[in-house]
Amino acid sequence: MNTNWAFVSDFDGTISLQDFYWMVIEKYYPEGRELYRDWKAGRMKDIDFLSTVFSSINQDEQTIIDDIYNMEIDKYVPAFIQEVQASGGDFYILSAGSDYYIRHMLEKHGIKNVEVYANRGFYEKRNVRMITDDSDWHYHERYGIDKSKVVRKLKEKYDRVYFAGDSEPDSHPATEADITFAKDVLQTILSERNVPYIPAGSFEDIRHYLQNEGMLK
């Protein structure tokens, strides 16, 4: 068994079943649907779209935390993370969203010893404020965080790096990882770009693959 390996996962739509921004749009910010169309048409950067949505919640912090707690995640994730760690692997979350809701979600599910690479966020004036710093080594003008750079950096530390994602921002680190597990639209994007991937509908599919590879105990 290779003991020097890491599993890196996107959060929104990969670990969580719904993107945090969609939850906000549906509950608090219906105007965000038009903004979403602008973003998808390339008229807005990802970081600007998310910052606008996250600053349009206008709720007290406990309400926001309760909303985060009510978001569904892939039910296999907590056990999968434990299994990776018990098998000598390290688990990372790599998100172009905000660490604010990711950390609350990890806390809710009792998930420990997981390093999070994401745009920094905090509660301020009834909203979630996102911060980017162009002096950060993993800064990216469009996404806030350069996922490819993070995976490349992790590959300097680990013999093997697995990655899981579901959408366009994940297509970039997918070319850096040793093996990528793709959900949803990421499968189409990678197929069109001739980037190899393993299709996965859930973390149970990923677990079976890693078991067959002998990576999990």
Percentage of the residues of the chain whose pLDDT score is greater than 70 = 99
Residue 55 domain flag: no
Residue 40 domain flag: no
Give me the pLDDT at residue 1, please. Answer: 43
What average pLDDT does the segment 180-206 reach?
98
Strands, DSSP E only, in the chain? 5-9, 89-98, 115-124, 127-131, 139-140, 144-145, 160-165, 179-182, 198-199
Average pLDDT of every residue of the chain: 96
Helix%, strand%, coil% for the chain, nearest 5: 45, 20, 35
Which CATH number do you get for residue 79? 3.40.50.1000
What average pLDDT does the segment 194-211 reach?
98
What average pLDDT does the segment 67-76 reach?
97
Q: In the structure, how many helices (H) and strands (E) does the chain have?
A: 9, 9
CA angle in degrees (0–180, nearest 5) for 1-207-181: 100
Residue 159 domain flag: yes
Domain encompassing residue 168: 5-17+73-121+144-212
Contact in structure between 59 and 27 (CB atoms under 8 Å): no
What average pLDDT does the segment 107-112 reach?
96
Residue 47 domain flag: no
3-state secondary structure of 216: coil
Q: Is 92 left (phi over 0), alpha (psi -120 to 50) or beta?
A: beta
Closest CA to 202 of 12, 17, 1, 35: 17
Residue 104 domain flag: yes
pTM (predicted TM-score): 0.96
Q: What is the pLDDT of residues 7-53, one digit of tens each?
A: 999 999 999 999 999 999 999 999 999 999 999 999 999 999 999 99
Q: How many independent structural domains does the chain possess?
A: 1
Residue 176 domain flag: yes
Question: Which DSSP string do the residues of 33-86 spell out, in sequence order?
Answer: HHHHHHHHTTSS-HHHHHHHHHTT----HHHHHHHHHHS-B-TTHHHHHHHHHH
Please, which pLDDT band fits residue 217 given cuts at 50, 70 and 90? confident
Residue 38 domain flag: no
Q: Is 129 left (phi over 0), alpha (psi -120 to 50) or beta?
A: beta
Please, which pLDDT band fits residue 3 given cuts at 50, 70 and 90? low
Residue 195 domain flag: yes
